[in-house]
Amino acid sequence: MKLKLRLLVVLFVGLLAAQLAFSDETSSHDTVQFSLTVTSTGQLNISAVKQVEKGINAFDAIDQLVVVGFKETDWGPQIISLGGIEAVGNTYWAFYVNGKMSMVGAKDVILDDDTFILLNLEAF
């Protein structure tokens, strides 16, 4: 009887350890590293790194790190201010993903891998 109980305990502990190891493996794959830099010459310079849910869009990830002012357009939200700095006149918030200017809006960029976003106040 004692042998059966010991075997049961060993089996239970082994299963528990395997489950914990498996949950640690899967949870690390459910997030990605999101790096954000927001710059406006002489006004603002913010850099942050955060683990975010894999599959989240860049707009929602940005909104987790900095106050975002935006207006809804037919093409999705247009960022008009970041951290209280508003794009006015001939300026806009340029949106770069992994070093390249994005051809789509922040709502359409899905974070499936570690991603670096730069938002820079620029003039046209």
Domain boundaries, given as residue ranges, for the chain: 31-123
Sign of CA dihedral 58, 68, 91, 44: negative
Q: Tell whether the model's pLDDT for residue 38 goes beyond 90.
A: yes
First to last CA, the chain: 82
Report pTM. Answer: 0.75
Write the CA distances from 93 to 43, 49, 86, 89, 90, integer angstroms: 13, 20, 9, 12, 11
Q: Which one is predicted more confidently, 24 or 59?
A: 59
User: Rounded to whole angstroms, how far apart are CA atoms 13 and 28?
Assistant: 23
Fold of 31-123: Ferric Hydroxamate Uptake Protein; Chain A, domain 1 (2.170.130)
H or E element, residue 40: strand 31-40
Taking residues 70-75, what's their average pLDDT? 94
Q: How many residues does the chain have?
A: 124
Q: Tell whether the model's pLDDT for residue 91 goes beyond 90.
A: yes
pLDDT, position 42: 85
